[in-house]
Structure 1
């Protein structure tokens, strides 16, 4: 399989030229890196070229590397049922630079791109309906960014007095507790299920 994928990577290198930044075959998977602005041309070729025929968009997702200047990877996973081959396409972008939408090539990218926008804040140009898809309309921030707090910024609840949903700053109701993990049974006052089958005699020996 690696030989087939290396031949495909070499073929794409010749077809795409400078649009292909590089390719890699690791653990039986082919990954190609391309420039952000060339993604539509690359996806179109992968779909239409007779030696590729990647006619199925399996997934589109984001990855966050906050230490980088271009902190986000947008990753496209494509499948060719005709060639029985998969390929991964990576592009890089930052928090301010939009990515060309591929909805016109693969309509299935619609909700995938909305998810990446919702969870990472990546904007896709020419998307027909770019709005949040998993979080609420007034949700603050993008929860899959590495710098997003685990508790979030606000919490949502229904206020029975106001008869409506309200947003409030997150408040942790429990103080910090220092657990002693060296004593896992500390503070357990009841027997563990199953222990009732054992009885302890006065000399300290166990009978079961």
Structure 2
């Protein structure tokens, strides 16, 4: 008898208790469109000595597939299929295998970590390409570098990565923004706005 009652209430729970994620994602995309195809950076996050802004619909992502360290902060947007991450490096990380071949003689760790990270990402893709490395605009509070990597990956069509390394005091933070090409075309500037919001925190 109890077994039959359980079977009776399961369909009710499925239809009444489940949240409508499709509706939520549609609303998020509509808000993006109404805001002239820009995200509202209305949430402040703190991570290992820095703070920065993110859209509040970005949720915690427990996957560290695209990062070096398990201590990295990872978030994702289901509405746009975007993966975001940031992780901190410093001199103590120079003995890590991924960075061995990129240590520069003049102790330029900003370029060292950027080059090592971009090369690691480049090697993980098929038919991949890398943009020219650029310095972040002088209007940004912190010194940094930025590059785009594209190739055949896990996303439908080509996968696009924007990778940026920012120096804050004696630490180096590598930010990633990963999505498909069409979404990247609309959100690259949002990633730059996130980078511009980076501040040193207590």
TM-score, normalization by structure 2: 0.28
- Who wins on radius of gyration, i.e. which is larger? 1
TM-score, normalization by structure 1: 0.28
Greater share of residues in helix: 2
More RCO (CA 8 Å, sep 6+): 2
